[in-house]
């Protein structure tokens, strides 16, 4: 299989076939992000011959292991959904040619990747099997989105995800806890809940902001332009976010950036999750939480 650099996937894609169709990120400007710094280039699409070769290899590997049914493929790279409708169609056709049991094709996506496709193209991609996108919206706080150079606004998040809803393409969100900065966590949480309540993410995954010295955000901190939330404030932010969510969805804090991991269904598990968070806020010290963050050498 052709894999380039560190391969990232959401926790819930553990059973999916990981197929590299892109490497790197088209945007590559978010101040907090260090996920693709190990690559010598910003972004590239994999040659289609490599994609086809990998699908042939996967088909043989599944046959050797007597695995008759693979349901899902997850395309790797920061935002493979940026590829044009025609390129995604070709990739989809190759997947179904070699792995006919595949029902859905997922990937990471940026909000701007949706903007470049027509409503008709989104519907056709859903018919082909593209479903279950993971979108790192990070926040609904426009001030934080601007400062972090995300390249879109909260309005864009709502508008483009409504288009996914119309096309029948399901999607999950990554919510970056702490992105609004010290003293603003609860504000950011309410703003993010407000936009989520207008659309239909099937899952919202919380990740704790972890700042590394080789990030642009670290440089902003050193220059006195931004201040990080305390670890306790981050948990208060999550509590506020869960409290204000009004839509049925799965909420999960399962990645390595979370010192305490949990998940549940909303609204059924809301009170249980809030009680869990209250216990952390009241009984776990800032020192202990900060130690976990300092020891997290890589996400």
Confidence (pLDDT) at 248: 98
Confidence (pLDDT) at 37: 87
> What is the block-wise mean pLDDT of the chain (299 residues), using blocks of 10 residues?
94 96 96 92 95 97 86 97 98 97 98 98 98 98 98 98 98 98 98 98 98 96 98 98 98 96 97 98 98 91
Q: Distance between CA 221 and CA 24 in Å, rounded?
A: 25
Confidence (pLDDT) at 218: 97
- Candidates 199, 137, 131; CA nearest to 162 is 199
Asked if residue 254 lies in contact with residue 208, where contact means CB atoms within 8 angstroms, the answer is no
∠ at Cα 269 (266, 274), nearest 5°?
105
Q: Distance between CA 115 and CA 237 in Å, rounded?
A: 30
Confidence (pLDDT) at 185: 98
Domains along the sequence of the chain with CATH: 1-131 (3.30.750), 147-299 (no CATH)
Confidence (pLDDT) at 63: 87
pLDDT in tens, 231-259: 999 999 999 999 999 999 999 999 999 99
Q: Distance between CA 121 and CA 37 in Å, rounded?
A: 32
Token code pair at residue 147? 């400062």
3-class DSSP assignment, residue 50: helix
Verify cis geometry, omega within 30 degrees of 0, for the bond prior to 267.
Answer: yes
Q: Distance between CA 187 and CA 153 in Å, rounded?
A: 16
Confidence (pLDDT) at 67: 81
Confidence (pLDDT) at 38: 86
* pTM of the shown model: 0.96
């Amino acid at each position: 299989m052709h894999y380039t650099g560190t391969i990232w996937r959401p926790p819930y894609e553990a059973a999916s076939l990981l197929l590299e169709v892109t490497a790197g990120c088209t945007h590559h400007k978010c101040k907090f992000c260090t996920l693709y710094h190990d690559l010598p280039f910003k972004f590239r699409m994999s040659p289609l011959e490599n994609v086809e070769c990998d699908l042939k290899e996967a088909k043989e590997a599944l046959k050797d292991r007597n695995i008759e049914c693979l349901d899902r493929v997850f395309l790797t790279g920061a935002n493979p959904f940026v590829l044009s409708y025609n390129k995604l169609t070709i990739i989809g056709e190759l997947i179904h040619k070699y792995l006919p049991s595949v029902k859905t094709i997922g990937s990471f996506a940026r909000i701007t990747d949706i903007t470049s496709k027509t409503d008709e193209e989104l519907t056709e991609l859903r018919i082909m099997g593209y479903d279950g996108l993971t979108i790192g919206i990070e926040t609904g706080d426009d001030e934080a989105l601007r400062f972090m150079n995300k390249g879109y606004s909260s309005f864009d998040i709502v508008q483009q995800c409504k288009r996914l809803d119309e096309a029948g393409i399901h999607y999950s969100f990554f919510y970056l806890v702490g992105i609004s900065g010290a003293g603003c966590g609860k504000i950011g949480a309410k703003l993010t809940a407000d936009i989520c309540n207008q659309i239909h993410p099937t899952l919202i995954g919380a990740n704790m902001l972890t700042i590394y010295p080789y990030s642009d955000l670290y440089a902003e901190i050193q220059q006195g332009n931004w201040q990080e939330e305390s670890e306790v404030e981050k948990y208060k932010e999550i509590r506020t976010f869960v409290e204000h969510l009004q839509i049925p969805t799965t909420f999960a804090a399962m990645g390595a950036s979370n010192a305490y991991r949990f998940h549940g269904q909303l609204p059924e598990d809301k009170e249980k999750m809030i009680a869990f968070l209250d216990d952390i806020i009241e009984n776990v010290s800032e020192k202990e939480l900060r130690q976990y963050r300092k020891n997290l050498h890589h996400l």
